[in-house]
C-alpha cells in the first residue's frame, strides 16, 4: 500500500494542473497582435492582458481600450462582452469577443457588434510573456 501513495499523489497533482489549464490558464498573460476590420478594410494594433479574472484590452492605434467581461470559458475558447472605458467615441461599445486558443503561443480573435452574430473584425494575438 505504501508504494501506491506517491503514485496517487502524483495523479492528484496532475489532475489539478489539467483542471487549472481548462479553466483559463491558457489565456493568462500578455498578448499582442494586429486586428483586421472587414467592414472598413483597415488594420489596427491590439494588446490583451489576462490576469486572474481581469481582462483588459488596449487598441493603441485606435486610441481606445477597456475591459472584457467573461461570458463563457472552455479549454480552447472564451467568449467576452467588451466595454470600452477609454476613447469611447472612437470604438464600438458592448461588442462580443471570441478568443480561441490556436496553440500555446497564439490566440485567434473575432469581434461582432452588439446584437449581431456577424464578425466584423478578426486577428491573431501572440503571447508576449
pLDDT digits (tens, 9 = 90+) for 13-40: 343 334 444 456 999 999 999 999 998 9
Residue in 17, 16, 15, 49 with CA at minimum distance from that of residue 30: 49
- Residue 2: all three cell numbers together: 505504501
User: Domain limits at 94?
Assistant: 4-127
What domain count does the chain have?
1
DSSP one-letter code for 22 = H
Give residue-wise pLDDT tens across range 54-91. 999 999 999 999 999 999 999 999 999 999 999 999 99
CATH number of the structural domain spanning residue 98:
2.40.128.380
Amino acid at each position: 500500500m505504501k508504494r501506491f501513495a506517491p503514485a496517487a499523489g502524483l495523479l492528484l497533482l496532475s489532475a489539478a494542473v489539467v483542471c487549472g489549464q481548462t479553466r483559463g490558464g491558457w489565456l493568462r498573460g500578455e498578448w499582442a497582435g494586429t486586428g483586421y476590420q472587414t467592414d472598413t478594410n483597415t488594420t489596427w494594433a491590439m494588446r490583451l492582458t489576462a490576469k486572474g479574472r481581469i481582462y483588459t484590452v488596449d487598441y493603441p492605434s485606435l486610441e481606445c481600450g477597456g475591459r472584457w467581461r467573461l461570458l463563457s470559458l472552455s479549454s480552447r475558447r472564451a467568449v467576452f462582452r467588451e466595454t470600452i472605458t477609454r476613447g469611447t467615441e472612437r470604438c464600438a461599445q458592448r461588442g462580443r469577443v471570441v478568443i480561441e486558443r490556436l496553440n500555446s503561443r497564439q490566440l485567434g480573435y473575432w469581434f461582432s457588434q452588439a446584437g449581431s452574430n456577424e464578425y466584423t473584425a478578426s486577428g491573431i494575438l501572440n503571447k508576449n510573456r
